[in-house]
Amino acid sequence: MDVSSSENRHIGISGAALKMIAVITMFIDHFAAVYLFQEYEAAVNNIKPVPAFIKNMIADGSIAFVHNNSRLVGRLAFPIYCFLLIEGFKYTHDKLKYCIRLWVFALISQIPFGLAFANKIFDPEYVNVFFTLAIGFVTVWIVDEIKKRFGEKEGASYAVSMVVILLFATVAELLNTDYGALGIILIALMYITRYDRLSCSISCIAVLIGYSLVLDHESEIFAIFAFIPIWLYNGERGRQWKYFFYWFYPVHLLALWALWTFI
């Protein structure tokens, strides 16, 4: 089912609206993971003075509630970014330019990412999500070329594609990218089911539930709610602020780090 080509094309939400949902939920997540967590640590360990509202939240116990639920809200962001990545892959006129842009922002974002989450200029133990998206883009690009070259040999195309997906999922895991192998698998699934929204939703939800239960990452199960706005996507691009969405990631991480470090 390709919603973008249906008669109800204008019903639902645009790509720009999807991006904004991803940005807002990501910011809520990172505000809790970076600012609230670090201020809590500073207060408990008496590292530096903290704002009065943080002290009050610690005293009444609300800081844990706000932190934990904000992290759950943030689970919606990544599947939406993966979906939009595949939409971009489907419709871009210049895949190389798109790919280079992802890698450039992956490099730009690593220092703000390291500062925000580890208070280090570079943290090799944890690599930002732009690297996951860039590796995912390369993965589906190679799979797409394999499909074209093998033509009618679907069995061989499928086998080679699975090897490529597993290879790049392993690379993401070894590099400790944000979401690691799970991220590459979700991106690959969204590529494979890119013209069937129902299959996309069911397969990705199944993977997220399995990942949450088998690997004991219960919070990731909340990512399944991302498929509500994804399902409502109408195929329209909407008003595009392309570089705003790219720059928002490193800039907001740097701002959150500065907020708890200097204020």
Mean pLDDT of the 237-248 span: 85
Output the CA angle 227-21-71, nearest 5 degrees: 80
Assign 209 a pLDDT band (cuts: 50, 70, 90). very high
Output the pLDDT for position 42.
86
Output the pLDDT for position 152.
61
How far are the Cα atoms of 63, 109, 202, 239 from residue 169, in angstroms, in the given order? Answer: 35, 21, 20, 33
- State pLDDT tens for residues 143-197: 999 988 887 677 788 899 999 999 999 999 999 999 999 999 999 999 999 999 9
Output the pLDDT for position 238.
79
Domain-embedded: residue 8: no
Check whether 6 has a pLDDT greater than 70.
no
- Contacting residues for 10 by C-beta, under 8 A, at least 6 apart: 234, 236
Question: pTM for the full model?
Answer: 0.91
Region of poorest pLDDT, from 54-58, 223-227, 253-257: 54-58
Helix ranges (H only) for 151-193 are 154-174, 180-192
CA end-to-end distance (rounded Å), the chain: 50
Region of poorest pLDDT, from 49-63, 176-190, 220-234: 49-63
What is the C-alpha separation between 176 and 117, in angstroms, rounded?
14
Check whether 8 has a pLDDT greater than 80.
no
Assign 3 a pLDDT band (cuts: 50, 70, 90). very low
How far, rounded to the nearest angstrom, does the alpha carbon of residue 152 sit from its chain's CA centroid?
A: 34
Residue bearing the bigger pLDDT, 1 or 210: 210
Domain around 25: 14-262
Residue type (1 letter), 76: L
Output the pLDDT for position 48.
83
- State pLDDT tens for residues 90-138: 999 999 999 999 999 999 999 999 999 988 888 888 899 999 999 999 9
Mean pLDDT of the 64-84 span: 96
Assign 5 a pLDDT band (cuts: 50, 70, 90). very low
- State pLDDT tens for residues 22-52: 999 999 999 999 999 989 888 888 888 888 9
- Contacting residues for 244 by C-beta, under 8 A, at least 6 apart: none
What is the C-alpha separation between 221 and 209, in angstroms, rounded?
5
Total structural domains within the chain: 1
CA atoms 112, 117, 122, 123: torsion sign: negative
Show the tokens assigned to 262: 């200097």
Domain-embedded: residue 123: yes
Output the pLDDT for position 263.
77
Domain-embedded: residue 2: no
Residue type (1 letter), 78: F
